[in-house]
């Protein structure tokens, strides 16, 4: 039943003329694994505009996370180019790379990977700001005198009560931990937030709550978002456009409201038909 795919809000028409924030141009990437070469990405191009949420869908192994890692400069493409804010990322090193990276933050499927088990969660949330003390995001300007007050403000933005500030990760539910990881992700007011399957390990009700919260945050802060998921229904509820990956190739790219159009790729139609 395709009717259960809920569509993301349309960007206002003029928003499509917004400048491009991040771009992959003809990116190829292979890995050597057990003696042979595995192609993760083959000639992938994409653009993320300012304030846009671009969704990437595809089955496991289709190259989604590799796109995220390449954008984050955690890996280099074998061929092609990555451009962020008009600057090519090729060959960026040291201080220039560090300065570039602060514009992009990532939220992973497993929130525990970004939270120290030995710290109360508010300290993990503040870590990015501790690393870049010169940055004072506008939404933290009132709280700037106190690190704890900043963490409290970030908690409020992701819908967490201040009573959780002093908890340790193991004292929180999966959904609460993911909210903490998102608070950490937005702490530096990045220009791009990469969410790699952030709701895949959560139950359906919690997934929906987190998606709603992320959507509100994106709108409020104007952050661009790359939202990766194997679930096209989740993607459709949050993304302005959807890019479909299959075996390392981009097979479709469309505005979310065009998800049912006749020109959709057979594979996109298959993914949509599987939504219950």
**Number of chain positions touching Mg ion (CB under 5 A):** 1
Q: Which does 114 bind (CB under 5 to 8 A by kind): Mg ion, ligand ADP, none?
A: none
Q: Are 179 and 199 in contact (CB under 8 A)?
A: no
- 229 is a site residue for Mg ion (CB under 5 A): no
SS3 for 3? helix
Q: What's the rounded Cα separation, in Å, for the pair 169 and 117?
A: 6
For CA atoms 81, 84, 85, 88, the dihedral sign is negative
Where does this chain bind ligand ADP (CB under 6 A)? 31, 33, 38, 40, 58, 60-66
User: Nearest distance from residue 249's CB to ligand ADP, in Å?
Assistant: 11
User: Nearest distance from residue 54's CB to ligand ADP, in Å?
Assistant: 15
Q: Which does 26 bind (CB under 5 to 8 A by kind): Mg ion, ligand ADP, none?
A: none
User: Nearest distance from residue 245's CB to ligand ADP, in Å?
Assistant: 7
For ligand ADP, the closer CB: 74 or 96: 74
For Mg ion, the closer CB: 192 or 221: 192
User: Nearest distance from residue 15's CB to ligand ADP, in Å?
Assistant: 28
The region of 35-43, 57-65, 159-167, 184-192 touching Mg ion under the rule CB under 5 A is 57-65
Backbone angles phi, psi at 234, to 5 degrees: -60, -45
Q: Are 259 and 236 in contact (CB under 8 A)?
A: yes
Alpha helix (H) residue ranges in the chain: 64-71, 94-101, 121-131, 147-157, 174-186, 204-221, 232-238, 266-273
- 65 is a site residue for Mg ion (CB under 5 A): yes
- What angle is formed at CA 69 by the lines to CA 105 and CA 88, rounded to 5 degrees? 85
């Amino acid at each position: 039943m395709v009717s259960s795919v809920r569509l993301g809000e349309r960007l206002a028409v003029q928003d499509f003329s917004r400048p491009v924030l991040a771009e992959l141009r003809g990116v190829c990437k292979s890995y050597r694994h057990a003696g042979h070469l595995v192609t993760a990405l083959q000639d992938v191009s994409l653009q993320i505009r300012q304030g846009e949420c671009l969704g990437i869908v595809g089955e496991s192994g289709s190259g989604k996370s590799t796109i995220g890692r390449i954008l984050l400069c955690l890996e280099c493409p074998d061929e092609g180019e990555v451009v962020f804010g008009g600057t090519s990322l090729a060959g960026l090193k040291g201080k220039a790379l560090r300065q570039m990276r602060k514009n992009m933050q990532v939220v992973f499927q497993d929130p525990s990977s970004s939270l120290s088990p030995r710290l109360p969660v508010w300290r993990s949330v503040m870590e990015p700001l501790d690393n870049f003390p010169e940055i004072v995001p506008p939404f933290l300007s009132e709280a700037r005198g106190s690190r704890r007050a900043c963490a409290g403000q970030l908690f409020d933005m992701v819908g967490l009560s201040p009573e959780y500030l002093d908890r340790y990760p193991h004292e929180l539910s999966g959904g609460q931990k993911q909210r903490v990881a998102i608070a950490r992700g937005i702490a530096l007011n990045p220009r791009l937030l990469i969410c790699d399957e952030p709701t895949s390990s959560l139950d359906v009700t919690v997934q929906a709550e987190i998606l709603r919260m992320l959507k509100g945050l994106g709108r409020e802060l104007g952050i661009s978002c790359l939202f990766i998921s194997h679930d096209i229904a989740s993607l459709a509820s949050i993304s302005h456009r959807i890019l479909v990956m299959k075996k390392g190739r981009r097979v479709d790219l469309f505005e979310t409201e065009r998800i049912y159009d006749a020109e959709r790729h057979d594979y996109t139609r298959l993914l949509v038909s599987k939504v219950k």
